[in-house]
Structure 1
Amino acid sequence: MPATPAPVIPSSLIEILLVEDSEPDVLLTQEAFEGARVPNRVHVVRDGVEALRFLRREAEYAGAPRPDVILLDINMPRKNGLEVLSEIKADPALGSIPVVMLTTSQAEEDVRGSYARHASGYVVKPVGFENFLQAIRAFEDFWMTFVRFPPRA
């Protein structure tokens, strides 16, 4: 039986952009990543307009790092996650960043719309503290241990 390959351990900090307007979900996500085996830093923005300013390093985000992965909620004020996803993937400077939709929406049109706009994944937020932590840890196991991210620009 062939040996299972060892996971790729990143040599540096993983930069995560969390685009989320729900304070309890922000706190749960931050807590889950604090216990991660892979060094990471979670940056939080509260809506789609702010997310695009962070990604484009505008105004107060002039010194923001390029994220390795984006966790993007769909239902947000000012600009929803599907609109943000479309803008990210249409921008040559940002389009290679993996975007995982992390949302309460189970609507088929949201799932289809996310993948049509080139989302890297679609995760429905589980109900309950332990289930939510378990989902974030599963994300960590895959995305932060086995996935190789595009080089930062």
Structure 2
Amino acid sequence: MGQSLRVLLIDDDPADSVLIQEAFSLLEQPCTLMVLNSGAAGLAHLISLEHLAPDVVLLDLKMPEPDGFMVLAALKAHPQLQALPIVVFTISTSDEDMRRAYALRANAYVVKDLAFETLCQQVRSLVKFWSLARTVPCPSQSPH
């Protein structure tokens, strides 16, 4: 499959983050996971452009300001990051939240299942899909 998929998780819930990190650690295919615990940290990290962008961002919605919706809107409005795939990865089952996330141009909306076996299946599926998906790299971050 080539290069290791680079995933950025932005989630303020320590328990959820630990479970998700554990699910990633059990993957058989190569994958690099970076975890940031707030929307502000996620935005600052991505907008700094001093590093190679992740291949995909897993973004929680329910965080203190900036919440996931604000982070999503800011990333999709940023000229160099608007093509970055953003998967809303949340516990929210609200149709309104889902509609709003897609209106803000989320690439996918996945409801986290915190039953560990199911969460592991979700992580495997996400990694498999995004490892195969072809995306546009951020222009100023091409590896040269």
Which position in structure 1 is the counterpart of 2:28? 37
Q: Would the alpha carbon gap of residues 150 and 37 (structure 1) be closer, same or farther in structure 2, given more than 3 Å must change?
A: farther
Shift of 1:150: 2.0
Which position in structure 1 is the counterpart of 2:118? 131
Greater helix fraction, Structure 1 or Structure 2:
2
Shift of 1:64: 3.7
- List gaps (5 residues or longer) in structure 1: 1-8
SS state of the match for residue 56, structure 1? helix
Shift of 1:151: 2.4
Instruction: Report which of the two structures shows the higher radius of gyration computed on alpha carbons.
Output: 1
TM-score normalised to structure 2 length: 0.88
Instruction: Tell me the alpha carbon deviations over residues 74-113 of structure 1, each in whole angstroms, 9 at most, x when there is no partner.
Output: 0011211011000000001100100000001111111001
Shift of 1:30: 1.5
Map of 1:12-91 to 2, 5 A cutoff?
Answer: 12-57=3-48, 63-91=50-78
Deviating 4+ runs (over 3 angstroms): none
Q: Given that residues 24 and 120 in structure 2 are in contact (C-alpha distance below 8 angstroms), is that contact kept between their aligned partners in structure 1?
A: no
Q: 2-side partners of 1:63 and 1:87: how far apart?
A: 18
Q: 2-side partners of 1:46 and 1:19: how far apart?
A: 6
Instruction: Tell me the alpha carbon deviations over residues 98-142 of structure 1, each in whole angstroms, 9 at most, x when there is no partner.
Output: 000000111111100100011010000114111211211121222
Q: 1-side partners of 2:3 and 2:114: how far apart?
A: 32
Which position in structure 1 is the counterpart of 2:133? 147
Percent pairwise identity = 37
- List gaps (5 residues or longer) in structure 2: none
Two-structure CA RMSD over aligned residues (Å): 1.5
Q: Which of 92, 95, 101 is residue 88 of structure 2 equivalent to?
A: 101
Q: 1-side partners of 2:59 and 2:42: how far apart?
A: 9
TM-score normalised to structure 1 length: 0.84
Q: Given that residues 84 and 137 in structure 2 are in contact (C-alpha distance below 8 angstroms), is that contact kept between their aligned partners in structure 1?
A: no
Q: Give the aligned length.
A: 139
